Structure 1
Amino acid sequence: MITHENNIQNYLIKYKTIFWDFDGVIKDSVLIKGEAYKKTFKKFGFNTTNKIMMHHLDNGGVSRFKKIPLYLSWTDEIITKEKISLYLEEFSNNSINLVIDCKPIPGAFEMVKFLSLNSLNILVTATPEKDIDKILNKISLKNYFHKIYGAEMDKYAVVKEVLSNSSNKINDFIFIGDSEIDVKAAISNKVPFLLKVGKDNLELAKDYKLPFIRNFKSNTKVDFSFTEVD
């Protein structure tokens, strides 16, 4: 395989619109969210919370609106709309401050700010809008995003809507994410994708032949190891 590199700043600056995922891309919060799920369901014991954590880690990018009803189905609770709302609220309370306090991905804040000077940053997250709004305000990042889409809208639909309202060419867009849902939202709309690699998702780069990075530090190089065959 051919490996060639490109400075991350130079690589991204050529795009006019950049879709950003949040958890695992801007904030190192994937495990933190897992801890919030465990805390929310702790009364059901270790086996249930461990199963929840494993599912959460294997299904990054999936909204809590889908996860909470599923996790409730693994308990002895009688599932009602009111019960789901109660657990959603508890999870929200458990997760917001944890996400605010957790570490950012190195260089991510600076990269978002830098790219906002000449490009449109669009946040596409599985976090509800009211929660991500609180988080972004607290970490002083909200003003650097042109638009913010929360869990209320499917990621594929967000990308499709933005594309349909733009006169730019498809190669003027890029999606930066870390989950298979992010990948599919991009490639289903024929949008280029950059994978933010963490502990457990390098296989996505191999499976989908994606360029990838590990952080956004100014000296970071985009790795193309899996995109070309010698």
Structure 2
Amino acid sequence: MAMPRLCQILAVKPQSKRMEFNPEAYKLIFWDFDGVIKDSVPLKTEAFDQLFCEYGEDVRKYVREYHLLHGGVSRHIKIPHYFRKLFNQELSEEETLEYCQRYADSVIEGVIACPWIEGAREFLNSNPHDQQHIIVTGTPQDEIEHILEAIDLVSPFSKVFGAPHTKPEVLAQMLEETKMEPEECLMIGDSMTDHDAAVENQVPFLLRENEDNREHFAFFDGPKVLNFLHWIR
């Protein structure tokens, strides 16, 4: 009998690891939003790119890469950072708000309409393991509340935290409020911001892997998922 090729064996292993992950072990799950519940990261990357389209490809490349690496950081922090880093320019609060509004105007309806990460909505709505679910996102508070209302996904979450709340602070606060141990909780994210918030609070981290973050997470040997379809079967 012919032996299977090495490439065939290797191709199966990552999928089998993803399939083995069991969310039932956790009482509280922290969810990032963009790239975890909705497939909205490409849309937001394009929106940042367009804000800086007049500045040339080197600037736009830095903006795109920084955004992908720091997916959970508020635009109110990212935009001043870009001007400070790339142009040695400090934006006033008024200028920052103007750029943030231009960005918001270009993405909100797109986020509402964009595809779901497969299985996320069904898992959250059914809550098969009677868990507590909390949103922790870099999207502004009023904006994420509007988006959740528009996509009819308010009820699964006991709390929703958007900017200016930071992810490390939220995880620490909720561990204190719920009196849960870190190992009873799970952080699901797709960016280094999500990963670092989990590590800082000793909370297990589940990576929602995609083509854009795979290289950034080459070091990560923890659990990964492409979607949540196997959680609802």
Specify the TM-score bucket, using the shorter chain as the normaliser. 0.7 to 0.9
Amino acid at match of 2:52: F
CA offset at residue 220 of structure 1? 8.4
Summarize the alignment of residues 213-224 of structure 1 with structure 2, pairs less than 5 Å apart: 213-218=225-230
Distance 1:6 1:29 in 2: 22
Indicate yes or no: 2:76 matched with 1:65: yes
Higher helix share: 2
C-alpha contact 1:44 1:75 (8 A) present in aligned 2: no
Indicate yes or no: 2:173 matched with 1:167: no
CA offset at residue 79 of structure 1? 2.4
C-alpha contact 1:205 1:211 (8 A) present in aligned 2: no
Larger radius of gyration: 2
- Select 1:152's aligned residue among 140, 164, 169: 164
Distance 1:5 1:187 in 2: 21
Structure 1 unpaired stretches of 5+? 222-230
Distance 2:147 2:212 in 1: 25
Residues 134 and 209 of structure 1: CA distance in aligned 2, closer, same or farther (over 3 Å)? same
2:126 corresponds to: 114
Indicate yes or no: 2:57 matched with 1:41: no
Residues 103 and 177 of structure 1: CA distance in aligned 2, closer, same or farther (over 3 Å)? same
Indicate yes or no: 2:16 matched with 1:22: no
Distance 2:54 2:215 in 1: 34
CA offset at residue 51 of structure 1? 3.3
Q: Secondary structure at the match of 1:27?
A: coil
How many residues matched? 220
Distance 1:201 1:43 in 2: 26
- Select 1:143's aligned residue among 139, 149, 155: 155
Structure 2 unpaired stretches of 5+? 1-9
Distance 1:102 1:138 in 2: 12
Summarize the alignment of residues 124-135 of structure 1 with structure 2, pairs less than 5 Å apart: 124-135=136-147
Residues 201 and 45 of structure 1: CA distance in aligned 2, closer, same or farther (over 3 Å)? closer
Residues 120-143 of structure 1, C-alpha deviations (whole Å, 9 max, x = no match): 100000100111111111111012
Residues 93 and 20 of structure 1: CA distance in aligned 2, closer, same or farther (over 3 Å)? same
Residues 189-217 of structure 1, C-alpha deviations (whole Å, 9 max, x = no match): 11111111011323565524211111011
CA offset at residue 43 of structure 1? 4.2
Distance 1:123 1:31 in 2: 20
Residues 78 and 150 of structure 1: CA distance in aligned 2, closer, same or farther (over 3 Å)? closer
Q: Normalising by the residue count of structure 2, what TM-score does the alignment of the two structures yield?
A: 0.83
C-alpha contact 1:156 1:189 (8 A) present in aligned 2: yes
CA offset at residue 39 of structure 1? 2.8
Q: Secondary structure at the match of 2:229?
A: coil
Q: Normalising by the residue count of structure 1, what TM-score does the alignment of the two structures yield?
A: 0.84
C-alpha contact 1:48 1:75 (8 A) present in aligned 2: no
